Amino acid sequence: MIEVKNVVKTFDGFAALNDATISVPTGAVYGLVGPNGAGKSTIIRHLTGIFRQDSGTVRLGGEDVWENAALKAKIAAIPDDWYYFNSAGIGDMMRFYKGFYPNFSTERYEKLREVFELDEKRPIRRFSKGMQKQAAFWLALSAMPDYLILDEPVDGLDPVMRRQVWSLMMGDVAERGTTVLVSSHNLRELEDVCDHVGIMDHGHVLLERSLAQLQDNMVKLQVVFPDGMEDVPAELPVLHASKLGRVHTLIMRMNAQEATERLMAYSPLLVDAIPLTLEEIFIYELGGADYAVKDIVL
């Protein structure tokens, strides 16, 4: 289990994390989302022991991460700017990983050679960004970690390799109970793989729930009101409303059944409830229409 509790981290008076709290169940795939500068990468650097919090606790499996070498040997991380030795090839980095990770599996490394068809002797710095990400996954998955911490993990990978990498990770979650925390701006992709989601903004975790709970707590409805009723009733708790012809599209913070029952009081000609995507939930949890794209004349 990953536990970040009431963590504060400041840099030159700026609070990068402000009482941030997240909880990731063992064996879960947790998506950490938020706008640029929300604090996602800062949390990741605490989870991997790079930063030490000013206050609060950062624990994995009940142990503090800071200066805990035995615990770090159970964590594999792929940051957006993955580090490798300047002149090293994949084979060189494999030997380095074997010295650090006691559970590193040479057998798995050999099997994954069929997936990541990369030249092991070629310096990694001469690889494309996508090839470097493949090398990072090859090594991280061979380390057999208990915790996999990922920051924009599949950025630069082609669609086939993205699917291959996610399949390998989901296999580890199912077979070994690996706990995965992934930060990404690709919300459509996270929606396919995550079972828990945390939404961050300004260094604080606004909410965290299972994806199913998030989708059950907010709903999109398409509604046609009876003749003579052009506007949405003011007493309805609507987060955002738009209209095309006679069809109103409403975003409401409640489940589909409750929202439909509220609307039936107005004898609508049509009510159709549609589950929101993770991207839509993200936008409306961060301020609804105020966070949406603005039309600006330049």
Residue 289 has pLDDT above 50, yes or no: no
- Distance from C-alpha of 144 to C-alpha of 64, rounded to nearest angstrom: 21
Regarding predicted confidence, which is higher, 140 or 207? Answer: 140
Structure confidence at residue 260 as a pLDDT band (50, 70, 90) = very high
- Domain ranges in the chain are 2-208, 219-275
Any residues with CB less than 8 A from the CB of 61 and at least 6 apart, and which? 1, 26, 71, 74, 146
Question: Tokens standing for 250?
Answer: 């409403």
For residue 163, give the H/E element and its range.
Answer: helix 159-176
Indicate the angle between helix axes 159-176 and 129-142, nearest 10 degrees: 10
Residue positions counted in the chain: 298
Regarding predicted confidence, which is higher, 132 or 287? Answer: 132
Question: Tokens standing for 30?
Answer: 């947790």
pLDDT at res. 298: 52
pLDDT tens figures, 229-249: 888 888 898 888 888 998 999
Cα separation of the two ends of the chain = 49
Residue 292 has pLDDT above 60, yes or no: no
pLDDT at res. 291: 47
Mean pLDDT over 105-118 rounds to 94
- Only one residue has tokens 């001469």, namely 126
Contact 168, 136 (CB under 8 A): no
Residue 215, CA distances (Å) to 113, 143, 195, 219 in order: 39, 35, 12, 7
pLDDT at res. 297: 59
Q: Enter the CATH code of domain 2-208.
A: 3.40.50.300
pLDDT at res. 287: 64
Mean pLDDT over 126-151 rounds to 95
Mean pLDDT over 246-264 rounds to 90
CB under 8 Å, gap of 24 or more: what pairs does 111-114 form?
Answer: 112/138, 112/141, 112/142, 112/168
Starting at the edge strand found earlier in the chain, the sheet holding 179-183 runs: 75-78, 147-151, 179-183, 29-33, 196-201, 204-210
Three-state secondary structure string covering 25-79: CCCCEEEEECCCCCCHHHHHHHHCCCCCCCEEEEEECCEECCCCHHHHCCEEEEC
Regarding predicted confidence, which is higher, 209 or 288? Answer: 209
Mean pLDDT over 181-204 rounds to 88
Nearest to 229 by CA among 244, 248, 242: 248
pLDDT tens figures, 28-82: 999 999 888 899 999 999 999 999 999 999 999 999 999 999 999 999 999 888 8
